[in-house]
Chain A
Amino acid sequence: MNTIEERLWSYIDGTCGEEERKAIDMLIANDEAYRAKFEELLSFDQELIKMEADEPSMGFTYNVMETIRAEHASQPLKSAINKNIIKGLGIFFIAVISIMLILMLSTLHITPARFTVHLPDSVKLPDLKNLLSGKVLSVFLFVDMILALVFVDAWVRRRKAKHALKS
């Protein structure tokens, strides 16, 4: 500490050490100039302590909360979805599929010599020839084509929008 003011401010703020405090106590008691300066700084300090905070407008809290509410409302669904729910659903489906697979495999009779699978008598597979008849196949392919076109269109639009933003 160099100047009288610096020492006195440390004393007033209570940031000086015990020895320094005792030394300043002595100086204030015995030195007239020191005491005068101390009283001047102390009264300035008191004035600063008495300062009052400014008051914002009446609707301040309301405005803050409204902005927060609006932000919540406009939050994209992607970030509003609880990831734990998605994880839970995933675990549920994996568990169900695993149990089904285990049950299915336990009911199968596999002969290793010829690699043929013998299904139990109660299980009957649908006739694939009927399923994949000309009409069904063409409807399936048509729907696929439409879906592919929709996805390509969406992708091209997104790319165009990105380019427009960059430029």
Chain B
Amino acid sequence: MQSKLSDIELIEQTLAGNQAAYADLVKRHQRFVFTLAMRFCKSREDAEEVAQDCFIKAYRSLASFQGQAKFSTWLYSIVYTTAMTFLRKKRVDTDSIDDENTYIQLENQSSGLNNNMAEKRSRSYYLNQAIGRLLPDDAAIITLFYMGEQSLEEIGQTLGIDPNTVKVKLFRARQRLKEKLEKSLKDEVKELI
């Protein structure tokens, strides 16, 4: 059962040495942090690693949290920087992988997709698929806006950009998502025919 205390109260208790209060804070935010990490990492294992890393980093610097912004906004900015660092590192690592390995990976992925054919494919399934195909920044903005219920200003704080830029990016991200979703649905109809 999750605690009814506010984030700030849980933080105060954690700083006073109560680790169980931090466990409550983790439970409260883990789903969204994990989802946000998934927007960058694409694989569950990597996303889980990034999400765990974020909570550990947040714990280490909890004393520096000023409480001026919402805890979630502060936490999401940690997720964003951690995920970006992870992606940069991953890019360096994957550059060294030869084409043969990449081919095997792609083949395995497509066979995984075939296995999923049996799964019920609702519109929300395609929506998640389409978000997965977006650029990480676009996917993160949409996730923060809709799932994180963050305002344009808060998203700006998280990503370190101006709220007006967030507005423009959100508009473009939604456009791209709509296009990808429509394409996925068209492909599905063609497959069925």
- The residues of A with any CB-CB pair to B shorter than 8 Å are 5-6, 9-10, 13, 15, 44, 47-57, 60-61, 63-65, 67-69, 71
The answer to whether B146 touches A48, judged by C-beta atoms less than 8 angstroms apart, is yes
The answer to whether B127 touches A53, judged by C-beta atoms less than 8 angstroms apart, is no
The answer to whether A53 touches B32, judged by C-beta atoms less than 8 angstroms apart, is yes
Q: Which residues of A contact B38 (CB under 8 A)?
A: 54
Given the known A-B contacts A5-B175, A55-B31, A68-B22, are A50 and B56 also in contact in the complex, defined by CB atoms under 8 Å? no
The answer to whether A69 touches B19, judged by C-beta atoms less than 8 angstroms apart, is yes
Of chain B, the residue at the smallest CB distance from A56 is: B34
Which of B47-55, B97-105, B106-114 lies on the face that meets chain A? B47-55
The answer to whether B48 touches A56, judged by C-beta atoms less than 8 angstroms apart, is yes
Per CB-CB distance, the 6 closest pairs between chain A and chain B, nearest first, are: A56-B34, A53-B31, A53-B35, A48-B146, A54-B35, A64-B55
Q: Which residues of B contact A65 (CB under 8 A)?
A: 19, 22-23, 26
Q: Provide the bound-state CA to CA distance between A60 and B78, in Å.
A: 18
Q: Which residues of B contact A13 (CB under 8 A)?
A: 170
Of chain B, the residue at the smallest CB distance from A49 is: B146
Q: Which residues of A contact B131 (CB under 8 A)?
A: 51
* Residue B124, interface by CB 8 Å: yes
- The residues of B with any CB-CB pair to A shorter than 8 Å are 19, 22-23, 26-27, 30-32, 34-35, 38, 44, 47-48, 51-52, 55-56, 59, 123-124, 127-128, 131, 142, 146-147, 152, 167, 170-171, 174-175, 178
Query: Which single member of B22, B167, B170, B178 contacts A44 (CB below 8 Å)?
Result: B178
Q: Would you list 7 pairs from A and B whose C-beta atoms are within 8 A, ordered by A residue?
A: A5-B171, A47-B124, A54-B35, A56-B48, A57-B48, A60-B26, A64-B26
Where chain B touches its partner, the secondary structure class is: helix
Of chain A, the residue at the smallest CB distance from B56 is: A67
Of chain B, the residue at the smallest CB distance from A62 is: B23
Query: Which single member of A9, A50, A56, A68 contacts B31 (CB below 8 Å)?
Result: A56
Q: Provide the bound-state CA to CA distance between A49 and B124, in Å.
A: 11
Where chain A touches its partner, the secondary structure class is: helix
Q: Which residues of A contact B51 (CB under 8 A)?
A: 56, 60
Query: Which single member of B30, B34, B56, B175 contacts A68 (CB below 8 Å)?
Result: B56
The answer to whether B34 touches A53, judged by C-beta atoms less than 8 angstroms apart, is yes
The answer to whether B171 touches A6, judged by C-beta atoms less than 8 angstroms apart, is yes
Query: Which single member of A53, A67, A69 contacts B147 (CB below 8 Å)?
Result: A53
Of chain A, the residue at the smallest CB distance from B60 is: A71
The answer to whether A60 touches B30, judged by C-beta atoms less than 8 angstroms apart, is yes
Q: Provide the bound-state CA to CA distance between A64 and B26, in Å.
A: 8
Give chain B nearest CB distance to A92 CB in angstroms.
25
Q: Provide the bound-state CA to CA distance between A65 and B58, in Å.
A: 12
Q: Provide the bound-state CA to CA distance between A69 and B20, in Å.
A: 11
The answer to whether B19 touches A60, judged by C-beta atoms less than 8 angstroms apart, is no
Given the known A-B contacts A6-B171, A47-B127, A50-B124, are A71 and B23 also in contact in the complex, defined by CB atoms under 8 Å? no
Query: Which single member of A50, A55, A63 contacts B34 (CB below 8 Å)?
Result: A55
Query: Which single member of A6, A9, A44, A61 contacts B23 (CB below 8 Å)?
Result: A61
Name which of B23, B52, B131, B152 has the most chain A CB atoms within 10 A of its CB. Answer: B52
The answer to whether B146 touches A60, judged by C-beta atoms less than 8 angstroms apart, is no
Q: Provide the bound-state CA to CA distance between A5 and B48, in Å.
A: 36
